[in-house]
Amino acid sequence: MKTYLFAGASSQIAQATAQLLQAKGNTVIGISRQPEIAIYDQYYQVEGYSKNDFPVIDQTIDGIVYFPGSINLKPFHRLNSADFVHDYQLNALGAVEFTQAYLGNLKASENPAIVYLSSVAATLGLPFHTSISMAKGAIEALTRSLAAELAPKIRVNCVAPSLTNTDLGSKFLNTPEKFEASQNRNPMKKVGEPIEIANAIVFLITQDSSWMTGQIINVDGGMNNLKTS
Ligand SMILES: NC(=O)c1ccc[n+]([C@@H]2O[C@H](COP(=O)([O-])OP(=O)(O)OC[C@H]3O[C@@H](n4cnc5c(N)ncnc54)[C@H](OP(=O)(O)O)[C@@H]3O)[C@@H](O)[C@H]2O)c1
């Protein structure tokens, strides 16, 4: 059985992923700013997701997933440099520092894997998304170059969801009218559920995807590739 490590463990997508992995007999370690979340097998509460925040973990880790992210949407003229830097730090640089912190643990595994979280906004041009699209674009670029650098030892892949029913997406879904409008914008006429993203993450972090690396998988009801109206 394998051991997986999640940053941003309070994320609803993270918790759905942990439960799927645990149901197959694996161990999941959570790192989060929140007080202990009972579902994890081991748990570390941290201040944030910068270099010095990550605890030393003295065991082999078979896979890591970086979940922290944001959806700060504003017109371009109202975004300042601090907004861009904040989104970049949380969504992209945090993933770099998390990965560097546990690279040694991963190298001790026979078949290690890394999964990152992007967004449909990294490749689909959407108004008010400049800051988050730059930050998530960086994580997709990281996925490809790091996959090349770490092959054949460590696989690196990424999942890019569109709007999913979690706290992060709640301001777009918090009335029946907004929820319905969001469904109607999606080719599958549906907002994503955490389990639908979790299924893709489990596939990429386990040996089920043993011949895949450097890939960005869109789990988005077709949003990124289709135009249906
Ligand atoms: N929900 C969507 O519509 C959607 C769409 C596209 C991409 N995504 C991506 O999916 C990933 C997981 O999000 P989710 O939908 O599961 O959301 P969620 O349940 O609301 O979880 C939010 C996540 O972001 C972290 N976080 C939020 N604000 C933070 C801050 N200021 N500083 C540090 N960490 C912060 C939380 O970490 P703690 O555990 O420390 O609280 C947690 O991991 C994110 O990377 C997000 O960008 C989500």
Output the residue whose Cα is nearest ligand 1's atom 34: 68
| Domain interval for residue 74 | 3-165+195-219
Ligand 1 neighbours (beta carbon < 6 A): 8-13, 32-34, 48-49, 67-70, 90, 117, 119, 161, 163-164, 166-169
Q: Residue 176: inside a domain, yes or no?
A: no
> Ligand 1 center to residue 11 CA distance, Å?
6
Could you tell me the CATH number of the domain that includes residue 84?
3.40.50.720
Q: Are strands 216-219 and 113-117 parallel, antiparallel or unpaired?
A: unpaired
Dist CA 194 CA 117 (whole Å): 13
Angle at 78 between CA 223 and CA 128, to 5 degrees: 5
Residue corresponding to tokens 């078979």? 62
Q: Residue 187: inside a domain, yes or no?
A: no
**CA 88 vs CA 68, 115, 183: distances in Å:** 11, 18, 28
Q: Residue 189: inside a domain, yes or no?
A: no
Residues 120 and 220: beta-carbon distance below 8 Å:
yes
CA-nearest of 70, 49, 68 to 171 is: 70
Residue corresponding to tokens 């706290």? 167
> Ligand 1 center to residue 68 CA distance, Å?
4
Dump strand ranges (E) for 37-196: 42-45, 63-66, 113-117, 155-161
Q: Residue 98: inside a domain, yes or no?
A: yes
* pLDDT value of residue 92: 98
State pTM to two decimals: 0.98
Output the residue whose Cα is nearest ligand 1's atom 43: 8
**CA 80 vs CA 87, 94, 130, 137, 180: distances in Å:** 11, 20, 11, 19, 32
Q: Residue 177: inside a domain, yes or no?
A: no
One digit per residue, pLDDT tens: the chain, 229 residues?
A: 999 999 999 999 999 999 999 999 999 999 999 998 999 999 999 999 999 999 999 999 999 999 999 999 999 999 999 999 999 999 999 999 999 999 999 999 999 999 999 999 999 999 999 999 999 999 999 999 999 999 999 999 999 999 999 999 999 999 999 999 999 999 999 999 999 999 999 999 999 999 999 999 999 999 999 989 7
Q: Residue 59: inside a domain, yes or no?
A: yes
> Ligand 1 center to residue 162 CA distance, Å?
13
What is the number of domains present in the chain? 1
* pLDDT value of residue 229: 76
Q: Residue 25: inside a domain, yes or no?
A: yes
Angle between helices 94-107 and 130-150 (to 10 degrees): 20
Output the residue whose Cα is nearest ligand 1's atom 21: 11
Does residue 175 sit in helix, strand or coil? coil
Q: Residue 13: inside a domain, yes or no?
A: yes
Task: Find out whether the peptide bond into 152 is cis, omega within 30 degrees of 0.
Answer: yes
